[in-house]
Amino acid sequence: MVCRAKKRPVLVISAGGPDIPKPLRIGGANRQYAPYLSVAPYYGAEANGKRAGYNPKFVERVKACEYPHFMWEKLPFPTLTPESLLRLDHVQPIGRHADSYRLTDYCLSNEALRILDEWQMWLQTGLLPEGGVLHMVRKELGQLG
């Protein structure tokens, strides 16, 4: 299947495994052994003349961490909208070759990676670790509303 895709910011979820040694690839198609990244795409949150965006009331609920498959973000580089939504249920593979992506100078801190791990666990299992940061944030935000 060949798909065309819009160029958009993504968060690398996994850099994939190590390259497969050439002797183990003999007899198979290159595509069967090609290395891939797993990425989650960001979508612009706000509507403008060219894009639909998301309902502002929904975005407020995403900001309050109500949905395990959506994460609100202000990306550290210029985009068409100041706010973006990360879709963890849209994780997809892209080729690890250099013309599939363009790296930025940004990467998540160790604390941010821990929160992302909690968020993915929440999406995959429906459970949040009791002592986790995300559990605490959701509890605090719930008390404000």
Q: How far is CA 29 from the centre of its chain?
A: 29
Task: Check whether residue 74 and residue 44 sit in a common domain.
Answer: yes
Q: What does the pLDDT read at residue 1? A: 56
Distance between CA 114 and CA 73 in Å, rounded?
16
Task: Check whether residue 97 and residue 33 sit in a common domain.
Answer: yes
44: pLDDT strictly greater than 90: yes
Range of the domain at 132: 108-145
Asked whether 56 and 23 are in contact (CB, 8 A), the reply is no
Task: Check whether residue 61 and residue 94 sit in a common domain.
Answer: yes
pLDDT, the chain, mean: 90
- Label residue 66 exposed, middle or buried (CB < 10 Å: 0-12, 13-18, 19+): middle
Task: Check whether residue 87 and residue 46 sit in a common domain.
Answer: yes
Q: What does the pLDDT read at residue 145? A: 60
Task: Check whether residue 116 and residue 97 sit in a common domain.
Answer: no
Distance between CA 93 and CA 54 in Å, rounded?
25
| C-beta neighbour count of 136 within 10 angstroms | 12
The structural domain count of the chain equals 2
What confidence tier does 138 reach under pLDDT thresholds 50, 70, 90? confident
